[in-house]
Structures are given as C-alpha cells and as structure tokens.
Amino acid sequence: MNEKQNTNTKMISDEKSRFKISDDFERFNQINDIFSRAFWDDSVRNKQSDAFFESHRVQPKGKRAVGFKQKDFALRNASWALSDTFSDRNAHKGNREGFQSWMENDSLIADEKIKIDDQKSFTIEFKKIAKLFGADLIGITPIDKRWHYSKKVNTLEFKPVSNKLPGNFTSVIVMGHAMDKGLVDTYPSALASSAAGFEYSREAAIVTQMTTYIRSLGYEALGSMNDTALVIPYAIQAGLGEYGRHQMVITPEFGPRVRFSKIFTTLPLHHDKPKHHGITEYCNKCTKCADACPPKALPKGPPSYNVINRSTIKGVKKWSANCEKCFDYWTKLRTDCAICMRVCPFNRDFNSFRGKIFWKIATSFLQPVALWWEKKRGIPKRLKPDAWWQMQQ
C-alpha cells in the first residue's frame, strides 16, 4: 500500500497513526466531495443549495431569527472576504484556489539554497517563523500520496482533471488555525460561521507568506487549504491531534476548534510523529456529537469501512458522516453548521484551570470520571448570538 516516497526520512507507519486501511482502498476523487457535487450532482444540487452559495456573495438580507440578522450575515461575509479574493483570482481558469485547486505563488525561488547543517534545530527555527506569521499549530510529516486526491476539479465545467503536483515535494507542513471559542459557541448561526471565515482568510495570508519565505530560501513550496489532499490524515500523521467521531481532529491545545492548511515543500525538515492521547477511546464511549446533530448525520456505532455514499473515502476504517444529510442541513440554514464541534466535551478553553483538569482526566486512566462528569453536564447550551454581541460592548 505504501508508495515509496522521495524523502529523507521514513514514512509514518499506519500502526503509529492508528490508521486501518483495507486492500480495496482508493484515493478520493475530489469531484465526489459534497461541495463539488453541489454543482454537478442533481441529487445534491437544488434551489436551496444554490441559495446557500449565493448568500455568501450578495448583500445580506437578514432573516428575523436571532443570529441570522443582517449584522450576523455581514460579519460572516466580511470574515470570508480575503479567502474569497484568493479563490476568485484564478477562477476564470477553473482553479478555485484553496478549495478545488492549490494556491499559486509567483514569488521567485532563490537561485541559491540556504545551507542547513542541523535539520532538527533548523526545524525549530522554522516553526518559530510559522508562529510569527500567525499559525497556532504546526507539524511536519512526509508526503503520503494516499491522501492526495486522485483528481482535482476544474470549477468552470465541474469536471475532474489531473492533480499532479508541480514539483518533487518531500514533506508536508500542516498548520493549525484556532477558531474563536465565543463564536463557535453560537453555532448554529450566521454569526458563528464567521469563526470559519476568519480562519480561511488567515490561512490564505499565512500560507502565502510561508510559501514565499520557503521559496526565498531556495526551495520549492506549494500552498494548500482544503484543496489537493485530505488534510485530516496529514494532521494526525504530523502529531497535531487525534480523530474524533465528528470527523474532526481533536487537538490538546484547542480541542476540535481548529482548521488546517498545508504546504508541500522540498525544504529539508525534521518530521514529527503521531501522538496518541486516548481520544479514540473517549469517543468510543461518547455520542454527544451524534446525539446533537439535527439531521442525524453522524454515526453512533464503532468506526467502520461503511461507504455511506460517493462522498465517503473507500477503504479507511473510521467514523464517517453522511455528508448529504449534513450539507442539506447547512443549505436549510443558509450557513454552515458545527453543532457537533460546539457540543464536543473537548470544545473547552484549555488555558483555564477547569479545561486543564478536564484534559488531564479525559486522557488518563481516570477517563471514566471525565465521561461521568460530561454525562452529568449534558449537551452544553448554545451561547445566544445576542449575548455574544452584547459581550463585545
């Protein structure tokens, strides 16, 4: 299964990453991603889904419900503005950068490569620079082509096209971007969606700055957000967190409140290793996200190889959502939903005393105590969007 990679360090083993991959594994074709299907697949596309995308680009007319007023939609659309600028700039070529195509970078690659004598200490310095530009988390792992889409999508015709990377990359730099907890706590609302938009816009800026930095050091670098490859397995291999029932990576720093970007590069960097905290064991005994999901799109049973529909990757044993049900609910709201993120017991402030204690207990032999504590707490209440606006005054 493992392709031989052009890298100076070994591939991360599936055992260490805790991946279970069957012999009938197939790389995922991005044309089957639910956001691509919403444009070409009549079983997904309808007036409601068109209105969902349209609502991000037009002057907002607020609904009357709290959290869906003009002010909420205005903040959401503003938060996405920079990301939208990037995804639009080569849309005329069918390249929706950051979502269905990698991010172009016109900066020149320096003729001379900087000399790296000590890879480990250079990597520490490099991570410091990523944080300086605004990355909240950073991990590095070898290229693993299984996670690269078999095809990407030309968004002029919504047709699959070659996803061959323009370079002989050896490593993937995965950066984590923490979402604002106060906004996340108001899901579902147009206001909450700003938490996602802010991070996509930040990603676009940070990825562009970091790829320019690497190219100026004399090495190749290709920036990527949701495009080109699945970022979740890469984030796990890079040691940033563990997979949860709600299909998100749960990190020790921000729980599931993280978005990820990536950079493919030839820069010689020291690779991180996957870390196990006991999240899988916790999720095996918790169903809070699945219980709270309005369209019941999340599984309550153990991880499986079930292919729910064409948006599920084949041959990976995991918790998989029914993306059709999930996206249909988003279109009804006219904005994204992350109730599953909000209600997750790991959606906590891990800088607070209570947050620190919870993480310690939930990831130790005392895990049953954390599960009992959370059962007593029940599904956490949504922060009312009006309360969020007032909190800022």
Binding site for ligand SF4 (CB under 6 A): 244-246, 282-283, 286-289, 293-295, 297-298, 321, 326, 329, 337-340, 344-346
- 116: tokens are 């790296």
* DSSP string across 219-280: --EEEESSSSB-HHHHHHHTTS-EE-TTSSEEBTTTBT-EEEEEEEE-S--PPP-----SHH
Omega before 302 within 30 of 0, i.e. cis = no
Q: Which is nearer to ligand SF4, 269 or 340 (CB)?
A: 340
Q: Are 34 and 327 in contact (CB under 8 A)?
A: yes
Closest CA to 203 of 170, 165, 175: 175
Which class for 112: exposed (0-12), middle (13-18), buried (19 or more C-beta within 10 A)?
exposed
Which of residues 34 and 267 has its CB atom nearest to ligand SF4 in the complex? 34
Least spacing, CB of residue 321 vs ligand SF4, in Å = 5
Closer CB to ligand SF4, 260 or 346, in the complex: 346
* Closer of 102 and 329 to ligand SF4 (Cβ): 329
Residue 212 Cβ vs ligand SF4, minimum distance, rounded to whole Å? 34
Q: Tokens 């959290």 belong to which residue? A: 67
Q: How far is the CB of 154 from ligand SF4 (least distance, A)?
A: 27
HEC string of 274-309 equals CCCCCHHHHHHCCCHHHHHCCCCCCCCCCCECCCCC
Q: How far is the CB of 318 from ligand SF4 (least distance, A)?
A: 12
The residue (of 126 and 330) whose beta carbon lies closer to ligand SF4 is: 330
The nearest distance, CB 230 to ligand SF4, in angstroms, is: 17
- Helix/strand number for the chain, H first, E second: 16, 10
CB of residue 108 to ligand SF4, shortest distance in Å: 41
Q: Residue 244 Cβ, how far from ligand SF4 at the closest point, in Å?
A: 3
From the list 351, 104, 76, the residue with the least C-alpha distance to 194 is: 76
Q: Could you write out the DSSP letters of every residue in 110-150? A: PSSPPP-S-HHHHHHHHHHHHHHHT-SEEEEEE--GGGB-S
Nearer to ligand SF4, 206 or 316 (CB): 316
CB-based burial label for 150 (10 Å; 0-12, 13-18, 19+):
middle
What is the smallest separation between the CB atom of 291 and ligand SF4, expressed in angstroms?
8
Distances (CA, A) of 199 to 66, 329, 349, 362, 388: 23, 22, 18, 27, 19
In whole angstroms, how close is the CB of 6 to ligand SF4 at the nearest point?
35
Nearer to ligand SF4, 203 or 336 (CB): 336
Cα 135 to Cα 128: distance, rounded to the nearest angstrom: 9
Smaller CB distance to ligand SF4: residue 220 or 324? 324
Of the two residues 60 and 255, which places its CB atom closer to ligand SF4 in the complex?
Answer: 255
Question: How far is Cα 142 from Cα 169, in angstroms, rounded to an integer?
Answer: 9
CA distance 340 to 297: 10
Q: Which of residues 232 and 339 has its CB atom nearest to ligand SF4 in the complex?
A: 339
- Compute the least distance from the CB of residue 360 to ligand SF4, in Å: 16
Q: What does the block give as tokens for 342?
A: 């909000």
State the nearest-atom distance from the C-beta of 191 to ligand SF4, in Å: 16
Residues 9 and 296: their CA atoms lie apart, in Å, by 42
Is-contact 214 357, C-beta < 8 A?
A: no
Identity of the residue, 34 or 214, whose beta carbon is nearer to ligand SF4 in the bound complex: 34
